[in-house]
Amino acid sequence: MEFVVYELIKSSERIKNPTEQKTYISTYNLHLMKKLIRFLAGFTLLIVLLVLIAYSTGNGYLMKGLWASYLHGYNSASIGDARFFDTHTIDAPATYEEWPLHAAYNQQPLSAPLTAMLEKTKTVAFLVLKEDSILCEQYWDNYTDSSRSNSFSMAKSITTMLAQVAIQKGFLKDWNQKVKTILPELTGPYADSLELWHLSTMSSGLDWDEKYKDPFSVTAKAYYGNDVNKLLLGLPIVNQPGKVYNYQSGSTQLLGMCVTKVTGQSLSSLASDWLWKPLQAEHAAQWHTPMRKGWNWPIAVLILMPATLPALGK
pLDDT at 51 over 50: yes
For 198-250, what is each residue's pLDDT tens digit? 999 999 999 999 988 888 888 888 888 878 888 899 999 999 999 999 999 99
In this structure, what DSSP letter does residue 309 have? H
Amino acid at position 290, single letter = P
Average pLDDT of the chain?
A: 82
What stretch of H or E contains 128?
strand 125-130
Q: Give the CATH superfamily of 78-96+148-313.
A: DD-peptidase/beta-lactamase superfamily (3.40.710.10)
**Which ranges in 57-141 belong to alpha helices (H)?**
61-68, 112-120
pLDDT band at 1 (very low <50, low <70, confident <90, very high): very low
Contact 101, 297 (CB under 8 A): no
What is the pLDDT, as a whole number, of residue 178?
98
What is the pLDDT, as a whole number, of residue 298?
57
What is the pLDDT, as a whole number, of residue 8?
45
> What residue segments make up the domains of the chain, in order of their start?
2-57, 78-96+148-313
Give 287's strand partners: 88, 302
Task: Give the mean model confidence (pLDDT) for residues 61-85.
Answer: 74
For 251-266, what is each residue's pLDDT tens digit? 999 999 999 999 999 9
Contact 194, 204 (CB under 8 A): yes
Contact 53, 232 (CB under 8 A): no
In this structure, what DSSP letter does residue 205 have? -
Select from 303, 205, 304 the least CA-distant residue to 254. 205
Contact 250, 186 (CB under 8 A): no
pLDDT band at 87 (very low <50, low <70, confident <90, very high): confident
